[in-house]
Amino acid sequence: MKSIKPSNSDPERTIIVRRMRSLSTLLDNAIRVPGTSIGLGIDPILGLIPGGGDILGGVLSIYIVFEAFKLGLPRETLITMVSNIALETITGTVPVFGDIFDVAWKANVKNVELLEDYVNSPELGEKADPWFVFLLLGGLLLLIILIAIVGIAVLAFIFNRLSAMF
């Protein structure tokens, strides 16, 4: 991960970025797979829980975007961050492939790298307005809820079909 240039950050900003880096490491890279350079965090492990793990991982990822907004990231960067989370959350619902994708994609690491790039850039850009961020994160949360509802409906359908067989 990148370090923060002191010239573009105050102590509070540095603390927030370090906290987001720690969270992204916990979510995406906490444990190294022995004999490889592959890192696993709790996000892909949560993804193994049918019907709920990817949702929980997506909700935890929203916090990084919220902190990025508080640090003043522009709309375009926040949209990229939310797109990273949405792609990982949607793809994560596909059995097996989604879990492999989750290990490889690492949306939280990508998002913290975007955050660090912004903090380290000489031109900080225009901060996104609160209503935009509210709608953006609200839309992502609705997507995550929709994924949960579809997952529950699929599990209920499968359960009903299996119980009808016996």
Task: Assess if residue 1 is contained within a domain.
Answer: no
Q: Global pTM?
A: 0.84
Task: Assess if residue 14 is contained within a domain.
Answer: yes
CB 46 within 8 A of CB 54: yes
pLDDT of residue 7: 46
Task: Assess if residue 10 is contained within a domain.
Answer: yes
Number of domains in the chain: 1
Q: Which domain holds residue 151?
A: 6-165
Task: Assess if residue 139 is contained within a domain.
Answer: yes
pLDDT of residue 122: 63
Tens-level pLDDT at each residue, the chain (166 residues)? 555 444 455 788 889 999 999 999 999 999 998 999 889 999 888 888 776 777 888 889 999 999 999 999 999 999 999 999 999 988 888 888 988 998 899 999 999 999 999 988 867 678 888 999 999 999 999 998 898 888 888 888 999 999 998 8
Give one DSSP letter per residue of 23-76, joined into a string: HHHHHHTSEEPTTSS-EE-HHHHHTTSTTTHHHHHHHHHHHHHHHHHHTT--HH
Alpha-carbon gap, residue 11 to 15, rounded angstroms: 6
Tens digits of per-residue pLDDT, 77-97?
999 999 999 999 888 888 889
CB 4 within 8 A of CB 119: yes
Task: Assess if residue 20 is contained within a domain.
Answer: yes
Q: Show the CA angle centred on residue 134, arms to residues 128 and 137, nearest 5°.
A: 100
pLDDT of residue 92: 84
